[in-house]
Amino acid sequence: MADTRTELPGIRQRRGMSAAQVAALAGVSRQTIYAMEAGDYVPNTTLALQLARILEVRVEELFHLENDVAPLAKPVTVELLGDARPGQPVQLCPVGKRVIGVAAVPQPVLPLADGVVVKRGSAHRADVRVFPSDEQDGKRILVAGCDPGITLLAQHLAKAEGIELILAPGSSQRALEWLKDGAVHIAGTHLRDASTGDYNLAAVRRLFPKGGVKVVTFAIWEQGLVFAAGNPKGIHGVGDLGRPGIRVINREKGAGSRELLDRELQRAGVAAESILGYERIAQGHLPAALAVSLGEADCCIATRSAAQAFGLGFVPLATERYDLVIRRAYVKLPAVEALLDGLNRSAIRRRLELLAGYDTSHTGEVRVT
């Protein structure tokens, strides 16, 4: 018989409810709740339904069979407009009796906006002409970082909760500095500590007092060399970047991608100044991958998800943990609570796995700082 696994502890804590509160609402003892959370007791159907109603989730989000993975849908044949390589996301649309697929490559479009800058002031201040809006207070969260996959969570929150994530592109270091300055609600980071090999916690401890922030894992991703489809330049490792005629595009200082490149160059014995394009900067994983897709560079360091978005080749160099760092003052905001709850949704995890190639086995876990 298959073992039953429960997500009850994490969901309960994200709801801000104690075991005693859940027990009282469900009409059982607190010890029963603890036994279920420890995996020592499997509830009957009635109790499982009660718990799902109390915690506002589906039963299958609370309890599922160990190693039980929902089967993937069988592939369907569609007609493609343009090119799309295996692993690349596509959008589908019925046209008459046909199903048409279009490669879901990020496109340059006029952005959604709340106003326009009419005058720049000193430092980082400006006068903005604001458009009339019916936006509700508390329905927006400002998230800084460089993860392309955060847009998948943003889509879920917009549709399910009416919450809008405003994304501020920036390196991991810059995102943390913005958070320290109180300029954003959440900072995303994937900074590796050289002494321990762990990610993010050392940098967080340096910048924030103990207990000042909550650190939650978003996903584990692969980062590596991104190059044109078919690998026409024969790029198989960082050592190849020193060959004549290989053009790279780098990331800004403070970016985890730049730190990875520098670390791998040192390991390969390749001097940074010998790399053509080392000082050329792209502000983010997707902009870097876009430059490669347009032929403006032969290679960059970015996530597998960025490579997949443009149908590019990829050689992994590192597996990294991307965490979300939240100021304690913002953790109880309804919009932030909805975001944290979204990390526990199986539908969101599946999209991150299939569309971004992320490992979500630790998504939603709280890290001790």
Domains of the chain and CATH, by start: 4-65 (1.10.260.40), 77-109 (no CATH), 137-369 (3.40.190.290)
Which amino acid is located at 311 in the chain?
A: G
Say whether 227 sits in a helix, a strand or coil: strand
Q: Residue 237's Cα: distance from chain center in Å? A: 26
pTM here is 0.72
One pLDDT digit (tens) per residue for the chain, 369 residues: 446 778 898 888 888 888 889 999 999 888 888 888 887 788 888 888 999 889 888 888 888 776 555 566 677 787 776 666 677 777 677 766 777 777 665 655 556 677 777 777 776 677 777 767 655 556 888 899 989 889 889 988 888 888 888 888 889 999 999 999 888 999 999 999 989 999 999 999 999 998 899 999 999 999 999 999 999 999 999 999 999 999 999 999 999 999 999 999 999 999 999 999 999 999 899 999 999 999 999 999 999 999 988 989 999 999 999 999 999 999 998 989 999 988 988 888 888 988 888 999 999 999 976
Q: Give me the phi and psi of 64, to 5 degrees please.
A: -155, 160
* Alpha-helix runs per DSSP H in the chain: 8-14, 19-26, 30-37, 45-55, 59-62, 150-161, 172-180, 201-207, 256-268, 285-293, 304-309, 334-342, 346-356
Structure tokens that stand for 103 in this block: 């490669």
DSSP, res 283: S
Q: Residue 355's closest CA among 106, 162, 179? A: 106
Q: Residue 87's closest CA among 289, 312, 346? A: 312
Q: How far apart, in whole angstroms, are the C-alpha atoms of residue 6 and residue 257? A: 36
284 Ramachandran zone, left/alpha/beta (phi>0; psi -120 to 50): left
